[in-house]
Structure 1
């Protein structure tokens, strides 16, 4: 009996070991509520919003890609993966100097814009994948590309409201480009910087009241209380005028409604891309009634901008630590006496 029992135990142990080995080969990574990926055996599975993609091991890393949204270029640049890019749309909105140099040399092609993509050129380039935000009105174009064997990957990073989760997309790009270790290292560095800056902000004795964004026509589009802007303000130890709001999207208000909330506002951030306070006033004379316009400080997003391109919407998507550092410098300048703003600029 004993030999039989020993054989049975050995058999069960072998099965258990195989199961453990099988499970250990699976790695699931959650970027956010919207995006997660799993590397299991010979399949890499990506779930992004309502879309699921399965790639065989011989399909990745990608060697030739097309980027249709400038905001994704920040991840490409952070990973030094510009050499993988063979096509872009609307290059006038891209800030990266290296991408523009590759465009001039013909290494990267212009494949159209958000009104109309050059489908024939895209097909002729034979990319391994196209990265873009999902736009329902382009469904026919997406289907045409898929029918020609081109993989279209939808990533809506602009919908992420937690700064570090938006940064974490770099890990996904690293996986798809064969730069896993570099991407993980970059993310850890940014995460560490971000958390240290967040702790630094709490050392300030003041918590100034903050107003954000500006008016378009007769409507003021304020960031909702759970948007990325609101989260940055909280992490920079600021008191946002809509802190009790629970929206993850813009909240529309009239000037009168904003005026009623703005009496104690000390800093007005993300006030567009104006060149001066005089220009703002010419555009909207009502701004002159705000205390913050006359006695506070106003900051615009033009610290790294040239023509139609703005690096805040490119590298700033990845470098959440630098964006937070800018806000801390604005709200609590005494905490970062030697730091010069990266993406923001005070309006004179």
Structure 2
């Protein structure tokens, strides 16, 4: 009997250990190739690019944060955490009505801009964390903030070229703000919408040819064939003129090079924020030589714009489903007859 009892005790101990391990550790949550996080023994570990962060249970959820990038406001508004923001840089670029109201009421402070942050005000606000893209020239400022006990979290979501991975950052914000359930539910909703829309687009009978972006000076900056815009065009069942390109960044071309590729183009998207085709020509008269300028359709990203704020760069960062829906409406209007564009606008 004694050996059996010892064996039973050993089995129960091993089972308890396994249960404890399962409870105390979790599989890494992969946001993208740039960002992931894990939880172990009540500690949250985040890897974001070259930066690592560790937070204990008593440090989360954050209750006071500062944003140094307007694009991150999109994630926060999607999970209803605007009241956690106590400071924002360049608030004139933030589109959210809720955040603008909090700014007007003095509940969110203006902490400067990328030319010069108001470090004294930031320190006085005593935030739990600051969220920003990493800008090497501000390393001295980041060090000063860290030396004053402020956590600076670098999230370079703008580097993501897979639209759904860019959306996935909402899960990390949910984890940090104590809103994981809401963030995951929103993420799942967007993912389902996106996949359903992609499936709808695949039913289109025609596959139009697309040109994107515009010229600055004498150079046309086209999205590379592996950029997020190229993904959107492909998922909306259209042909991008650089679809075979393998770059995840902008590709520079002369007008002549673009002209040689644009003979069959039917749609020109993300053509800046011009108010009219006439104004486009005052900026760059050579556009009139493009067949698409005269016979095709041109769309700009000003559907949700107020002064300096453009929601395409805010909620559009998270709502990849709505961005895709806009492109499908543009390329295949018959598939979404009752839908009105959210972020895009056709130029007259």
What is the TM-score when the length of structure 1 is the normalising length?
Answer: 0.98
What does 1:1-348 align with in structure 2 at a 5 Å threshold? 3-4=2-3, 6-8=5-7, 10-27=9-26, 28-348=28-348
Give CA-to-partner distance per residue, 1:142-165, whole Å, 9 cap, x none: 000000000000000000111111
Separation of aligned partners in 2, 1:256 and 1:5: 85
1:282 positional shift: 1.0
Q: Is the Cα contact below 8 Å between 2:223 and 2:229 reproduced in 1?
A: yes
Separation of aligned partners in 1, 2:220 and 2:236: 23
What secondary structure sits across from 2:266 in the alignment? strand
Aligned residues: 347
Q: Is the Cα contact below 8 Å between 2:210 and 2:241 reproduced in 1?
A: yes
What is the TM-score when the length of structure 2 is the normalising length?
Answer: 0.98
Q: Is the Cα contact below 8 Å between 2:24 and 2:42 reproduced in 1?
A: no
1:24 positional shift: 3.6
Give CA-to-partner distance per residue, 1:139-193, whole Å, 9 cap, x none: 0000000000000000000001111111111110000000010001000111100
1:13 positional shift: 4.5
Give CA-to-partner distance per residue, 1:261-320, whole Å, 9 cap, x none: 000000000000000001111111110010100100000000000111100000000100
Separation of aligned partners in 1, 2:9 and 2:214: 71
What secondary structure sits across from 1:246 in the alignment? coil
Separation of aligned partners in 1, 2:72 and 2:174: 13
Separation of aligned partners in 2, 1:334 and 1:194: 18
Separation of aligned partners in 2, 1:16 and 1:225: 51
Give CA-to-partner distance per residue, 1:217-269, whole Å, 9 cap, x none: 01000000000000000100010000000110000000000001000000000
Separation of aligned partners in 2, 1:80 and 1:45: 24
The root-mean-square deviation of aligned C-alpha atoms, in Å, is 1.0
What secondary structure sits across from 1:58 in the alignment? helix
Separation of aligned partners in 1, 2:95 and 2:5: 68
Separation of aligned partners in 2, 1:202 and 1:91: 40
In the alignment, structure 1 segments of 5+ residues that lack a partner are none
What secondary structure sits across from 2:112 in the alignment? coil
Give the 4+ runs in structure 1 shifted more than 4 A: none
In the alignment, structure 2 segments of 5+ residues that lack a partner are none
What secondary structure sits across from 1:265 in the alignment? coil
What secondary structure sits across from 1:251 in the alignment? strand
